[in-house]
Structure 1
Amino acid sequence: MKVTDSNVIRFHLQVLYGITARSFEKKRERLFIGGAKIFGVPLESLARQYIAEFGLVPCFLVDACSFLLERAGTVGLFRKPGSLPRIKTLRAKLNRGEGCLSTAVSYDVATLIKQFCRELPEPLFPSELHAALLKAQALPNLEDRTAALQLLSCLLPARNSSCLHYLFDFLSKVSQRSAENLMIGSNLATVFAPCLLPSLNKAEMSEERLELRVRVLSTFIENPHLFGNKLLSLS
């Protein structure tokens, strides 16, 4: 049976894996924020471009990731911080709509991507899904873990799904250059956990739960094709 309906997906998550996926809270309508600003802006207010494999992806993310793909062998990419003065200048130019990435330093652009994800008004993985994602990752069987995480990814709003799928595909390509950059999938997941799956309270900051967050992201980085696949066969 092919499944695309969120209620059916939630039913299977509960029956097959004992995972309850909370429904997303209805958000208050936000006014569209015009202009070129990039950081701290809701996804729906950002300039986006359509990419066949992923959908609508923020233009900044496409430009920044494309820039870094050509420099993916850079040692410590995403782990080593960029220069704060240079990053401040880049942010100001980007928020004015100026094209400035072509001459930037790789570490600075990598830091900007992390800041972009971290400063979104709502996390790319909505808080309603965090507990379910961690419970899925804690399942003892690898096949069950993978299937449950894939089902949960299908519950995301389309704009979040497109952005995350594109980002995980990019990070997967970076990890494939780990012999040069020393950034395997788990290293990248560790760096991005606070940006994509931030701890919402002190109870969520235990070592075990932090490790689960990293492992969730590692799964998607190592298997980006699993993310957001809307046609799932469930028996």
Structure 2
Amino acid sequence: MAGARITNIQTAKKQLPMIQPLQQTATQDSVQIRIKSSKSSGDRLSQSKSMVLQESDLPQKPISRHRRNQSQHNVAVQGGGANIFKPLVELKGEHLNMAKISESGKKQRKNWTQMWSVLTSDQLLFYKERQPETSQKTGGKVDAVQLCGAVIQWTTEKSSRKNVFQITTNTGSEYLLQADSYTIAVKWFDAIRGSIDSLTKEDGGFSLRRSNSSDYLPRHSSLPGYGSASPSSKQPNSAHRRSINMFGSSKLKHSTSDSADKNGVKNRLKKFIIRRPSMKTLQEKGLIKDRVFGCHLLTLCQREGSSVPKFVQICVDAVDKRGLGVDGIYRVSGNLATIQKLRFIVDQEEDLNLDHSQWEDIHVVTGALKMFFRELPEPLFPFRLFQPLVEAIKIKEPKPKVQAVKKLILGLPKPNRDTMKLLFSHLHRVLAFSKKNLMSTQGIGIVFGPTLMWPELDAGNMAVNMVYQNQIIEYILVESQEIFSL
């Protein structure tokens, strides 16, 4: 028995080398014999699968055993049960809508154009006209997008159209592509993204996509070759993240001291506000000057020590001197820029000489005078007087009508009353030259109606109020001798 066992063991040892060559030369159609070895679990798994799969289920192409390539490409072939390289997809041509919005980082006007698009292994070509599939003419090529190092992503912010995706090259150029059909847009998006991924890996870089997601990370368009990865380029990013985390943690630890600093700043601001000089002190020192335009009439007269603003007086004198016979006086508008310049000089309390050559146009003077009255916080005819004047103007008997209007005007403060008297007496002199200046009482009423009075709350009809404004000014102008005792 011992001799028989020894003989069987020797026979088995001689037959063992005969099995190993069969394993090495086995094809996909043969059954592989599973032998215990030091190979990885992945190889054993693939070998065990080959014993179960039928002939029709086996992959037609040889399986890549390079595990690093499998992990990098991460592309699964349906029905094969194994990871292989995904071949580049070249689309021969199709009409897409294209808009170039940036070139080398410089923005351009977005103009959508229908282009014949062709995808090759390394670039995306655009033609104005449709090209035959057999040969692409370079003469008709409008633009070529280099896909190496580019970024592609869907976008809804760059255009109101649907199915829009953006391609950003490594030189900073940006393209928008759009198709009316969602299926066509997805087909081109996937094909272009596959080409970009393959080109980036061949170039030694990596695709900027989030982990476990199809969304691309943002890339700075002004940095060519930003997609290339190197150990030195990863270190600053991680250090930057650590610095942010350290700053955030220190901010949390010292939140109490930060609140104390804020309270200290508030206390210092309170002390500064308490110690600040008063408005009266600043006015006395000349640091703050009250303006003429936009100032209340009573306040302005008190500051100037008169019952009529000085600016109104010098404007009326200038028009009386050289503007009574000018065609369309107070109706024709002056140059607005010159009027604003005159206003600025008056507000700065500088010496104003309307006889200077720069104020030669009398319409500038009349325009500034009308602007002064329009910018009063309360019009020359106060708000409380608007409705009573409307009721008084409706009186049909002449004498009671004049007495009612005169009583309302005499009840006004002295600055309002004296300024009205000066202005309406001046407008009487304008009417005396009506044959030369072609101005009438109706024309003056239309000009000065909305300038001298308006309701505080325009709750009624604006057109009706404007009619009453014009009628009231026109009536006071006609009866000014009786009302103001001229």
Tell whether the structures are fold-level matches, with TM greater than 0.5. Answer: yes
Q: Deviations over 1:53-81 (max 9, x none)?
A: xxx21110000000001211111111111
Aligned partner of 2:328 in structure 1 is 76
Cross-structure match for 1:58: 309
- How far is the alpha carbon of 1:221 from its aligned partner? 1.6
User: Paired residue for 2:399?
Assistant: 143
More helix by share: 1
Cα distance in 1 for residues equivalent to 2:395 and 2:446: 20
Give the drift of 1:152: 0.9
Residue 40 of structure 2 is matched in structure 1 by: none
Q: 1:38 and 2:278 equivalent? A: no
Partner of 2:340: 88
Contact residue 402 and residue 479 of structure 2 kept, 8 A: no
Contact 2:379-2:453 at 8 Å conserved across structures: yes
Q: State the distance in 1 between where 2:416 and 2:388 align.
A: 17
Query: 1:120: Cα distance to partner?
Result: 0.8
Q: What is the CA–CA distance in structure 1 between the aligned matches of 2:437 and 2:484, rounded to whole Å?
A: 28
The answer to whether residue 357 in structure 2 is matched with residue 101 in structure 1 is no
CA 1:202–1:176: 2 relative to 1, 3 Å: farther
**Residue 439 of structure 2 corresponds to residue 187 of structure 1:** no
The alignment's TM-score, normalised by the length of structure 1, stands at 0.75
Question: Relative to structure 1, is the Cα distance of residues 108 and 222 closer, same or farther in structure 2, using a 3 angstrom cutoff?
Answer: same
> How far is 1:122 from its partner?
0.9
How far the C-alpha of 1:212 sits from its partner, in A, is 2.3
Change (3 A) 1:204 1:151: farther
Considering Cα pairs closer than 8 Å and 6+ residues apart, tell me whether 1 or 2 has the greater RCO.
1
Name the % identity: 26
Which letter does structure 2 place at the counterpart of 1:214? N
Offset at residue 46 of structure 1 (A): 2.3
Could you tell me whether the CA contact under 8 Å between 2:450 and 2:466 is conserved in 1?
no
Partner SS, residue 308 of structure 2: strand
- 1:203 aligned to 2:460? yes
* Cα distance in 2, alignment partners of residues 91 and 177 from structure 1: 28
Describe how 1:12-51 pairs up with structure 2 within 5 A: 35=289, 37-46=291-300, 48=304
- Looking at structure 2, the residues matched to 144 and 188 of structure 1 have their Cα atoms a distance apart, in angstroms, of 24
Give the gaps of 5 or more residues in structure 2. Answer: 1-278
2:450–2:470 Cα contact (<8 Å) kept: no
1:7 alignment partner in structure 2: none
Following superposition, which runs of at least 4 residues in structure 1 exceed 6 angstroms of deviation? Answer: 31-34
Aligned positions, number: 193
Q: State the AA in 2 paired with 1:63.
A: I
Instruction: Tell me by how many angstroms 1:204 deviates.
Output: 4.4
What is the rounded CA distance, in whole Å, between the counterparts of 1:212 and 1:65 in structure 2?
A: 26
1:157 aligns with 2:407: no
Match of 1:17 in 2: none
Aligned to 2:472: 216
Matched, 1:133 2:389: yes
Q: Give the TM-score, by structure 2 length.
A: 0.38
Q: CA deviation at 1:223?
A: 2.8
Say if 1:172 and 1:221, in contact at 8 Å, map to a contact too.
Answer: yes
**Could you tell me how far apart the structure 1 residues matched to 2:317 and 2:343 are?**
18
Deviates more, 1:58-67 or 1:194-203: 194-203
RMSD over equivalenced CA pairs, Å? 2.1
In the TM superposition, residue 153 of structure 1 has moved relative to its aligned partner by 0.7
Q: Give the unaligned 5+ runs of structure 1.
A: 1-30, 51-55, 230-235
- Judge conservation of contact 1:94–1:100 (CA < 8 Å) in 2: no
| CA displacement at 1:125 relative to structure 2 | 0.8
Q: Secondary structure at the match of 2:448?
A: helix
Contact (CA 8 Å) 1:39, 1:95: kept in 2 or not? yes
Q: Distance in 1 between matches of 2:482 and 2:408?
A: 11
Please say if residues 171 and 221 of structure 1, whose CA atoms lie closer than 8 Å, have aligned partners that are also in contact: yes
Asked if structure 1 preserves the Cα contact closer than 8 Å seen for 2:406 and 2:483, the reply is yes
CA deviation string 1:91-130 (max 9, x = no partner): 1111122314223121011111111111111111111111
Q: Deviations over 1:136-158 (max 9, x none)?
A: 11111222211111111111111
| Pair member with larger Rg | 2
* Matched residue, 2:233: none
The amino acid of 2:329's aligned partner reads L
Q: Is the 8 A contact 1:49 1:59 kept in 2?
A: no
1:12 alignment partner in structure 2: none
> 8 Å contact 1:176–1:184 — kept in the other structure?
no
Q: Deviations over 1:143-178 (max 9, x none)?
A: 221111111111111111111111111111111111
